[in-house]
Structure 1
Amino acid sequence: MSVSMTEKTCAEFSERLAAREPVPGGGGASAYVGALGTALCTMVCRFTEGKPAYAAHDESIRHTIAATDRIRRELLVLMDEDARAYAAVSAAYAIDRDDPRRADAIEAALHEAALPPYRIMVACARSLALLEELGDHVSRLLISDVACGAQLCRAALMSASLTLYANTTAMVDRKRACELEEECEELLEHWLPRADALADAAARAVRGRG
């Protein structure tokens, strides 16, 4: 890639995503969506920091700001890592079918391409945990942003899992494929219900039913 995905404007990224090109794809989009959800968590904390009503939670809020800033930057890096990894998969599949190196090249590329979506999932899970920790420590006016952050991170988590499966199902090394799939399934089973619960609680609070 000559230009990093993160260097593109929102319009340029969406146009590139819509193009008939192998990258960016679902993995990069998942990372971007996760970064947006994480950014909402940071924003909520920054509006809360220093408010007298939440002074008892200032230290925790500052910790969350630092942590979510790191996660957001990590997800942006993963946008490019996913694009590079899938470009390698595309290049491997483009090798002549009669070339004896083709099968090994595809397998190696699939192994590498499965890692960015898994890391995206882990990062989004960390963001969801931090969104959960906000609890009642934020203004009611910001609860809708907490809910939006949870829903975006949930979507990114689920979407990244599909990208991971797309790579693992094509692997010849079933042992490694199963290891990654099991870790992926554990993340989904643990975090999807928690993301739903967080978003539902926030939605009830916003609507005055919490």
Structure 2
Amino acid sequence: MCSRCRACRKSLRHCVSMWTRPARSAACSKPASMIDRTFIDELASKAPTPGGGGASAYCGALAAALSSMVCNLTLGKAAYSAVQDEVQDCCDQLSALIDHLIELVEEDANAFAPLAAAYGMPRETPEEQQAKEEALQTALIAACDVPLSIMQTCTHVIELAEVLVEKGSRMALSDTGASLLFAKAALQGASLNVVINCASMTDRDRASMYQEEMRNLLNAYTMRADRAYETVVKELER
């Protein structure tokens, strides 16, 4: 891993962890001062990574962090004494999901590197053409596996946010709604990487398998996120 990737990963963990601590420090009164722009500046640059896949994973981590915040605002409150165990379980799961999604930012970049290298291989001779095609097809598999993993992880964030719509602090209901929107956006963003990489696969059976899983996740969980979000809006408007 290059020094830039390490810096990005460190800044991601720092930013997310600062916002998911049970008690916020005085420094949190100035959120902008907490943000390390390393990842954002790299994303905005011409660099091949991070890209849409990494940004989707980061978006998913933010979704999980928002739901984790809701858990922390619910835990220890007498009004929610009946759901403390369930909310604590949600909090524990969300902490693991945050870590995994941050790891997937890096994995997405690592998966893109051999794909970019394969696209850049020469193809002047039949042997070069064959070598390029073999390298490309191998790289496309990893380039589909990672965004599918991002999607799968985001479905768990949506499931936990659904629980918090019902059992989380009413004072943080809008944050639960934002978590649902972020998780849905991450799900949809990651799906686009599956679409574009499947289009270049010569193994159409494998491509169809990836596409089917992608569509199943997308159809089921965008609907669930939308339904839970609508519940949030109705509750906020009451």
1:151 aligned to which of 181, 200, 204: 181
- CA deviation digits over 1:88-124, x for unaligned, max 9? 1001111111323111001100111111100000000
Pairwise CA distance, 1:199: 1.2
Q: Following the alignment from structure 1 to structure 2, what is the Cα–Cα distance between the partners of residues 36 and 90?
A: 28
Letter in 2 for 1:106: L
The residue aligned with 1:26 is 52
SS in 1 for 2:99: helix
1:2 maps to 2
Per-residue Cα deviation, 1:147-174 (whole angstroms, up to 9, x for no partner): 0000000000000000111111111111
Distance in 1 of aligned mates of 2:169 and 2:159: 19
Match of 1:76 in 2: 102
What secondary structure is seen at the aligned counterpart in 2 of 1:136?
Answer: helix
- For residue 46 of structure 1, the aligned residue among 72, 75, 78 is 72
TM-score (norm 1): 0.95
For the residue of structure 1 that corresponds to 2:161, the secondary structure is: helix
CA separation of 1:63 and 1:142: change in aligned 2, threshold 3 A: same
Instruction: Show the 5 A alignment for 1:98-117.
Output: 98=124, 99=128, 100-117=130-147
Counterpart residue identity of residue 68, structure 2:
T
Aligned-partner SS, 1:101 = helix
C-alpha displacement at 1:11, in angstroms?
1.5
The AA in structure 1 aligned to 2:53 is G
> Which residue does 1:119 correspond to in 2?
149
Distance in 2 of aligned mates of 1:128 and 1:92: 35
Mapped partners of 1:22, 1:172: distance in 2:
24
What are the superposed Cα offsets for residues 59-113 of structure 1, whole Å, 9 maximum, x if unpaired? 1011101101111110000000000101110011111113231110011001111
Rounded Cα–Cα distance in structure 1 between residues aligned with 2:105 and 2:178 = 21
2:71–2:168 contact (8 Å) kept in structure 1: yes
Gaps of 5+ in 2: 12-34
Q: What's 1:202 paired with?
A: 232
- Please tell me the root mean square deviation across aligned C-alpha atoms, in Å: 1.2
- What amino acid does structure 2 have at the position aligned with 1:177? A
Q: Which runs of 4+ in 1 moved over 2 A?
A: 7-10
How far, CA to CA, are the matches of 1:36 and 1:140 in structure 2?
Answer: 20
Retained in 1: the 8 A contact 2:165–2:232?
no
2:223 to 193, 197, 200: 193
Structure-2 separation of matches of 1:163 and 1:203: 31
Instruction: Find the residue that maps to 1:22 and give its secondary structure.
Output: coil
Q: Give the aligned length.
A: 208
Map 1:159-198 to 2 at 5 A. 159-198=189-228
Distance in 1 (alpha carbons) for counterparts of 2:166 and 2:202 = 48
Q: Quick check: 1:12 aligned with 2:15? A: no
CA contact (8 A) 2:87 2:168 kept: no
Report the equivalent of 2:24. none
Query: SS state of the match for residue 166, structure 2?
Result: coil
Structure with the larger RCO, 1 or 2 (CA within 8 Å, 6+ apart): 1
Tell me the percent identity.
Answer: 35
* CA distance in structure 1 between the partners assigned to 2:169 and 2:236 by the alignment: 11
The separation in 2 between residues aligned to 1:203 and 1:140, in whole angstroms, is: 12
